[in-house]
Amino acid sequence: MHKWLTYNDVLEMSQDECKCDHDGLLGVSGPILMKLNWKGSNFKAGSWGKDSAIGTKSKDHYWVFPANEDNRIWETFRVYSSYRKLMLYYPVMEFSLQGAKDKCENCGQGGGVIFFNGSFYYNCYNSRALCMTDPHTMRLLRKELEDDDPASFNNIFSYKGVKFQDVDMAGDEKGLWMVHGSTKANGNMVIRKVNPNNLQVGTPWTTSQKKVEVTNSFMICGVLYATRRVNATHEEIFYAFDTKTDQEHKTPAESSSTAQEYKILMEKPLPTVQSLNYNPNDQKLYMYNDGFLVYYNLIFKRHRASRPGQAVGAEQGQDVNSEEGQGHVIKQAQAGLSKKDHNSPSDQKKNLTSKGNV
């Protein structure tokens, strides 16, 4: 019988075996275009990726969760046991959340779904509740979110360019997260930790960034990264909020005198970013892009050198705060990462050259 890790197991693995030994995101590779989702090109909204819990037993499994054609209701997902099965459209399971008499009260809503430690976590349809579904045991857990600053729902504070993604679930080295907007926060992005066992939410971090101005977001090592549209072919990772230090980072034009500069360009095959999911086990970023499955390799800063604010390039000791140093580190990292993507044949993937700057 398949045994999933407990939440304490995940925390222990997170602390002991997957330390965040870097100083944040430095850059991304070009987009690696995998394939169209199994439902077809009319299903533009959705999400996909791998299990985002550290040390999960399903680390080789992929999941794909397209929304219905209305781009709102999330009903049917597939789980694939390997990269090869994903490429062949051969799932280990296909499951519908629709209940008896075609009721869909426990279906998902919006693109903020995540697969964490063998279960799906998402915003329940037509409510601000959180839902958890374990497709292996058919266990369903639902929790209403009612507090002093409840999460918005039903397209009040969704991301720019996508609908009904008021609540966005995320996983990283630190655990399970929820990102949302709220009326009390004036529509700014709010970050909360979520206990995956009982869906209890923690004390919020309220940022200064308007959620409706952001196209999507993801978490890495407790840091929220947010994107915005540049044009039909590029996104910009322009904002970061560190939950450990409560520091935020913006682009120079929008930053205060104390904020640090943050700006990374990210190429995309199609115009709309429907969802972004980071996976701490393989350190890749998964994008559902107008119905297509895309992922990126990520490049991280080395630990700071003795001079505050300075990072060290790989082995050469280059200052990656300089343009020359950044370019060198990114090229070296991309060259190394491209040799081991998913242990799969390179001719099965289309790797588009990155034009991103940092």
- Domain limits, the chain: 29-298
Quick one: 356 exposed, middle or buried, by C-beta within 10 A (0-12, 13-18, 19+)?
Answer: buried
Ramachandran angles phi, psi of 303, nearest 5°? -60, 150
Residue 178 exposure: Cα atoms within 13 Å on the Cβ side? 29
Reported pTM: 0.79
8 A C-beta contact, residue 95 and residue 74: no
What's the confidence (pLDDT) of residue 18? 52
Q: Is the dihedral angle over the CA atoms 158, 162, 163, 166 positive or is it negative?
A: negative
Does CATH number 2.120.10 belong to domain 29-298?
yes
What's the confidence (pLDDT) of residue 252? 57
What's the confidence (pLDDT) of residue 348? 34
What's the confidence (pLDDT) of residue 305? 47
What's the confidence (pLDDT) of residue 289? 98
Q: How many other C-beta atoms lie within 10 A of the C-beta of residue 134?
A: 14
Ramachandran angles phi, psi of 257, nearest 5°? -70, -20
What's the confidence (pLDDT) of residue 97? 87
Q: Is the dihedral angle over the CA atoms 14, 123, 162, 58 positive or is it negative?
A: positive
8 A C-beta contact, residue 302 and residue 23: yes
Bridge-partner residues for 192, per DSSP?
Answer: 178
With a cut of 70, list the residues of the chain below it in pLDDT: 1-18, 100-102, 251-260, 303-358
